[in-house]
Structures are given as structure tokens and as C-alpha cells.
Chain A
Amino acid sequence: MRKVSVIGVGMHPFGRFLDKSLSDLGRVAIWEAIEDCGLSLKDIQVAYVGNSLGGLVTGQEGIRGQVILRDAGLGGIPVINVENACASGTTAFRGAWLEVASGVYDIALAVGVEKLYLPKTADSIKILSADSDVRLRDMGFQFTAHYAMNLRRYMKQYGWTKVHFAKVVEKNSYNASLNPYAQHRTPLTVEQVLNSRLIAEPLHLYMCASMGDGAAAAVLCAEEEARKFARKPLIEVAACALRSGMFKKPADASRLNIVALTSQFAYEQAGLGPKDVDVAEIHDAMAPAELYHYEELGFCREGEGARMIEEGRTKITGDIPVNPSGGLAGKGHPVGATGLAQVAEIVYQLRGEAGERQVKNPQVGLVQNSGGYVENDSAAASIVILKR
């Protein structure tokens, strides 16, 4: 396997864009990523396009990638359409990485794009819930409930409170306020969060990612080739791991083992450990989920997630900053775009390009992206470790 570098990233800001198509969103992210690395569209040799729900939202099935790329000006190359729920973005990234690492191609594009806003929110919820086993959806499952049920176990077992949960939102909403790509740019106080309406107890409105539209893209290149033309610091893909859930009752029902297992594999692949991570983008579709993901990623011991937020260790100025972008609840969560937006944020951070939300001199960054729900576990988990 060859060493692979991320040489360009780009985004369409996350938000509510009822007047824009998937192509309109994708094109902006693709062109920004191409311009970021100083290449042109004709240099792209293969493309992976991640999108989860565009079929239900727009009716376009099967070839969304080709349509989006055509409208960006790209054709005549292998195009692979990727669906993997909220992990579609990093799954597309993994495909692009494999193409280059294997030596088949030198330059690959990964795109993630999604539109979730519909005139009626209830319709968006129904569509989103189709990323779970529909047997459960038809019995009332929603993703808010998935996170809420996990968090309630931690409240019972470790005494975590809603104040801890609101403190995560306080941190991430502040970070999002510094991020020009973020959907929600108003910093929120603990009190505002706890006074917002209940969505899925114990989760309040501001703890939950809203619907979102947006896109993100990354250009990957063989490191030996990139050295010849790169104008910016090369960001090495140190690990890229993907795993599905086990979908059986775990030995300890309070643990969501998929993220822990995937990260262990990724740390081994990178030859690094949790202590080496200088900055992380974590899949917090409901912001308080950060707390148990800290544990699963090895940033702290079991049950200590709430202490991490109390001590401010995961702020931009902390010793292990998490979600400097604002996270999913702050930056926005257009499902298929999320994983690549996380990658983009880590690339900005490692290059020192993150402006007001810049973490101090990070060398290693981690992306954790999860998706879908089958039963007792997420359907997919991705970990990407990037290194300057």
C-alpha cells in the first residue's frame, strides 16, 4: 500500500437551502477542493460520491454521483455512488483512499452531499429514519431516541446530568460561531439549552443536530506524486477504518462497542494511540453523545466523559480539543456530507488554516463518523486518522 495524502478540501456552507439542488451544493465543494490543491478538474482520475437520502428527497436514484459530477464539469472517469447513512462521507473517502493506496490511480476525489430540508419537518424525520432498519422505524424509532436512550443509561450508571449535556452544547455552539461554514452560529448558554423545548428526553432542542443541506469534498493523492506539486503541507492518511455493527446483544448493554472497536483498529493501523491525538472531530448528531465517544475513543476511562467537559479539556484551548468546527449540532449535519466536512476541518486544523477556531499546533487529528442503526448498534462506524 502506498502512502496517501489529502491535498485539497472544500465545502459548501451547511444550512437551509431550499432553492439549491444536490448539484448546486456539490459543485461548490468540489471546485473549492480542486482549487485548494491547485489542480484542475481534468486531473481527477476517479470519484466516490457519498449521499444517503437523495433518492427519497429528490426521487433521483442510482446515479446521483454522475449527475452531480456532470454539473460540476466532471465525466469520463469511474464514478462510484456510495450510500452508508451518516457515514456515507467517510465511506466515500475510504473508497478514494483505497484507489490511491492500492496504486490503481494517483488522484481521487471524494464528495459528500445531502439535502434534508423539506417544507414539513415531519417528512424530513420520516426520511431520516429510513437510515435505520425500517422495521424499527415503523415501530417509532428515531435517531434522537437512539442517542437519548444511550445517554439515559449513562445518567443512571454514572450520574451524568443534563447540565453536562448542555455544557457540550455551550462549547460546540461557541466553536460553531467561529466557523464560517457552520449552520448555527449563535453561541448558546447552558441555561438557553436547558430552557429549549424537549425533543427526546433527556435531549432538548439545542442538543440535537437540526436538518441540514450542504456538501464537502476532498482530493486524495499518492504522497510521492503530491510532493512534486503540492503548495500546502501534505496531510497523510495515517489510518482509515470502517466497520459495521454486530447487531446482537452486547456483553455489556451499556456500551456502544462499534466505535471503540473501530478506533482500536485505526490506532493500530496508524501506529498511534489516543494520547497522540491533538484534535478530533466526533460524530455528535446529538451533542451530548460526545461524552461517551470520548470514552470509546480512549480519551478517558469509562464513565469519565462528563468530567472531561466539566474540566474544559475538550475546548479549543484544552489538552484534547473536540469538535472545533462546532460538531454536528453546531456546524450542521447534512448526513452524507458530514464525514467529509469532518475530514475538511481536521485538514484545516493540521495546516493551521482554521482561523479563530485554530487549535494550537496540532500534528495528529482524528475523525469519528457513524451512521445508521440496525439494532443495539450503529450500522457503520468510520475512523480516519490524519497526520501532518
Chain B
Amino acid sequence: MIGSQCKNCDYVAFPQRVVCPACVTKDSMNEIELSPAGKIDTFSVLHVAAPGFSVPYVVGYVSLPEGPTIFSMISYAGESMEIGDEVELFVGKIREDELGNEVIGYQFKLRAAEKGDEK
């Protein structure tokens, strides 16, 4: 993932910004590659949804080591998760559009999920 970092105050933003949200300097943001892993800051399992989303699904905020806390879907198949759990980036289906096409995008999944039935 590509974010932006202010060359004036070092604030890191995702998605990219043109104006720094912290020091409000014009044209101060440079591209920066963000880590593809972070920790769950908070989340919710949703059981009701707008058309195109399949329930249940999880949305949350993920804190990245570079600073940003970003909104994202978190892959969910009924496993338990907690604030602070480690997650990693992947690209996958988020929803279907009005024509039934898959809309894909970035999201996160639990790192432990690959180990199977540990819990």
C-alpha cells in the first residue's frame, strides 16, 4: 500500500493526501510504502448490510507501524478476534455491484488464521 508522508512534520496519511492533515503544509506529501501488516485497533462484526455485501462481515481500523490507522474490511469466517490481534494485507472480494460483478479491494486477515484450528 502506498500512503504519503509529510516532509515537513513526518505525519503519515493513508489514503494519500496532497495537503498535510497535521501541519497543513501545501505540497509537502511524498509517497511512502506502508507495511502490509498491522494490529487491529478496533472492529465490529456486522449482521445487517447494504445491498451487495454478504453478512456477517467485519470492518475495523488497523494500525500500521508507520502511524496511520486505516479503515478496512477484515476477512471473517466466524473466528474470534480481539483488539491488538495481528493482521496482514491481502486483496479480495469486498462486495458485488448492482450488476453482480465482484468488487475487489484491499483488506486484512488475521495472521493466525493460516495456522488453522489453534483456538
Q: How far is it, in angstroms, between the C-alpha of A200 and the C-alpha of B48 when the chains are bound?
A: 7
B95 touches A138 (CB 8 A): yes
Kindly specify which of B26-34, B38-46, B109-117 makes contact with the partner chain: B38-46
Selected from B21, B44, B61, the residue in CB contact (under 8 A) with A200 is B44
Q: How far is it, in angstroms, between the C-alpha of A376 and the C-alpha of B15 when the chains are bound?
A: 13
Q: How far is it, in angstroms, between the C-alpha of A203 and the C-alpha of B48 when the chains are bound?
A: 11
Task: Indicate whether B47 reaches chain A with its CB closer than 8 angstroms.
Answer: yes
Task: Indicate whether A228 reaches chain B with its CB closer than 8 angstroms.
Answer: no
Task: Indicate whether B94 reaches chain A with its CB closer than 8 angstroms.
Answer: yes
B47 touches A197 (CB 8 A): yes
Selected from B46, B53, B60, B61, the residue in CB contact (under 8 A) with A144 is B46
Tell me if B's interface is mostly helix, strand, loop or mixed: strand
Task: Indicate whether B72 reaches chain A with its CB closer than 8 angstroms.
Answer: yes
Known contacts A129-B50, A145-B59; A249 and B68 CB within 8 A of each other: yes
A140 touches B57 (CB 8 A): yes
Selected from B42, B45, B49, the residue in CB contact (under 8 A) with A125 is B49
Known contacts A125-B49, A156-B83, A198-B47; A138 and B68 CB within 8 A of each other: no
Residues of B within 8 A of A (CB-CB), count = 33
B71 touches A200 (CB 8 A): no
B69 touches A125 (CB 8 A): no
Kindly specify which of A65-73, A146-154, A182-190, A314-322 makes contact with the partner chain: A146-154
Q: Residue-by-residue, is A196-216 near B (CB-CB < 8 Å gives 1, otherwise 0)?
A: 011111110000000000000
B47 touches A122 (CB 8 A): no
Q: Residue-by-residue, is B58-89 near A (CB-CB < 8 Å gives 1, otherwise 0)?
A: 01110100011101110000000001000000
Task: Indicate whether A253 reaches chain B with its CB closer than 8 angstroms.
Answer: yes
Q: How far is it, in angstroms, between the C-alpha of A376 and the C-alpha of B11 when the chains are bound?
A: 15
Q: Which of B59, B63, B83, B95 is most buried by chain A, counting CB atoms within 10 A of its CB?
A: B59
B48 touches A125 (CB 8 A): yes
Q: Residue-by-residue, is A115-152 near B (CB-CB < 8 Å gives 1, otherwise 0)?
A: 00000011101100100000111111110110011101
Selected from A138, A139, A199, A247, the residue in CB contact (under 8 A) with B48 is A199
Selected from A140, A149, A246, A247, the residue in CB contact (under 8 A) with B94 is A140
A139 touches B46 (CB 8 A): no
Q: How far is it, in angstroms, between the C-alpha of A125 and the C-alpha of B49 when the chains are bound?
A: 7
Q: Which of B43, B50, B61, B68 is most buried by chain A, counting CB atoms within 10 A of its CB?
A: B50
Q: Residue-by-residue, is A25-44 near B (CB-CB < 8 Å gives 1, otherwise 0)?
A: 00000000000000000000
Residues of A within 8 A of B (CB-CB), count = 36
Task: Indicate whether A275 reaches chain B with its CB closer than 8 angstroms.
Answer: no
Q: Residue-by-residue, is A347-363 near B (CB-CB < 8 Å gives 1, otherwise 0)?
A: 00000000000000000
Q: How far is it, in angstroms, between the C-alpha of A332 and the C-alpha of B37 when the chains are bound?
A: 41
Known contacts A125-B50, A126-B50, A139-B94; A148 and B44 CB within 8 A of each other: yes
Q: Which of B22, B57, B59, B71 is most buried by chain A, counting CB atoms within 10 A of its CB?
A: B71
Task: Indicate whether B105 reaches chain A with its CB closer than 8 angstroms.
Answer: yes
In the complex, how many angstroms separate the beta carbon of A34 from the nearest chain B beta carbon?
A: 39
User: Which residues does chain B contribute within 8 Å of A138, judged by CB atoms?
Assistant: 94-95, 103
In the complex, how many angstroms separate the beta carbon of B46 from the nearest chain A beta carbon?
A: 5
User: Which residues does chain A contribute within 8 Å of B83, judged by CB atoms?
Assistant: 152-153, 156
In the complex, how many angstroms separate the beta carbon of A154 from the nearest chain B beta carbon?
A: 10
B51 touches A139 (CB 8 A): no
Selected from A139, A144, A152, the residue in CB contact (under 8 A) with B42 is A152
A140 touches B42 (CB 8 A): no
User: Which residues does chain B contribute within 8 Å of A197, judged by CB atoms?
Assistant: 47
Q: Which of A126, A138, A150, A153 is most buried by chain B, counting CB atoms within 10 A of its CB?
A: A138
Q: Which of A136, A200, A253 is most buried by chain B, counting CB atoms within 10 A of its CB?
A: A200
Known contacts A139-B59, A140-B94, A248-B21; A149 and B43 CB within 8 A of each other: yes
B106 closest partner in A (C-beta): A139
Selected from A145, A156, A253, the residue in CB contact (under 8 A) with B44 is A145
In the complex, how many angstroms separate the beta carbon of B42 from the nearest chain A beta carbon?
A: 4
Q: How far is it, in angstroms, between the C-alpha of A203 and the C-alpha of B95 when the chains are bound?
A: 23
Task: Indicate whether A24 reaches chain B with its CB closer than 8 angstroms.
Answer: no
B69 touches A253 (CB 8 A): yes
Q: How far is it, in angstroms, between the C-alpha of A16 and the C-alpha of B49 when the chains are bound?
A: 20
Task: Indicate whether A276 reaches chain B with its CB closer than 8 angstroms.
Answer: no
Q: How far is it, in angstroms, between the C-alpha of A253 and the C-alpha of B84 when the chains are bound?
A: 13
Q: How far is it, in angstroms, between the C-alpha of A198 and the C-alpha of B47 when the chains are bound?
A: 7
Closest 5 CB pairs of A and B: A148-B44, A248-B21, A126-B50, A201-B45, A149-B42
Contacts beyond the supplied A122-B51, A140-B73, A152-B43: 12 A-B pairs with Cβ under 8 Å: A136-B71, A139-B105, A140-B94, A141-B71, A142-B49, A156-B83, A199-B47, A200-B44, A201-B47, A247-B21, A253-B63, A253-B69
